[in-house]
Amino acid sequence: MMNKAEIFANSTVNDCRIIQLEKNAHENGALSVVENDGTMPFDIKRVYYLYDIPGDAERGGHAHCENQSLIIAVSGCFTVVLNDGAESRAFQLNRPYKALYVPAGLWREINDFSSGSVCLVLTSECYSEDDYVREYDEFLALTASKRSK
């Protein structure tokens, strides 16, 4: 088990990836499933969702020490920008059958929400404010070793 300093020193945006979920399409609509069957990067402990989001909203603006996430645009679209302290990657999510895997130790921002969009987040840990790094300066300090190489 890595400690906080090690997690931030080793996190990389290269570990983010889009996980394609199955889409069960029928004439009456479609259905996709995420379950703890060993195919996901972690077992899911918590589900939350963002909705009623103004188009100019900026969500996120923090990093997690341990918590991992899967982020899904179950409706509409938005952009997730991830930063490991040295590199950043942006993902536009616009399909309910594509999940973005976000490991711990990355700064995240979510913006460019389309009207009526819903951002579903599945997480590896229960909610704990202690797991958050909300100050960007602290995030920069935790990832400083990546920029001195």
Count interface residues toward ligand TYD (CB under 6 A).
6
Integer Cα distance of 93 and 100 in angstroms: 8
Catalytic residue positions?
62
**Residue 96 identity:** P
Q: Is 50 in the site for ligand TYD (CB under 6 A)?
A: yes
Q: Given candidates 5, 6, 88, 127, which one binds ligand TYD under the rule CB under 6 A?
A: 127
Could you tell me which stretch among 4-12, 24-32, 57-65, 92-100 binds ligand TYD (CB under 6 A)? 57-65
Q: Given candidates 14, 48, 135, 145, which one binds ligand TYD under the rule CB under 6 A?
A: 48
Q: How far is the CB of 26 from ligand TYD (least distance, A)?
A: 32
Which residue, 60 or 76, has its beta carbon nearer to ligand TYD?
A: 60
Which residue, 20 or 88, has its beta carbon nearer to ligand TYD?
A: 88
Q: Is 49 in the site for ligand TYD (CB under 6 A)?
A: no
Q: Which residues of the shown chain bind ligand TYD in the complex (CB under 6 A)?
A: 48, 50, 59-60, 62, 127
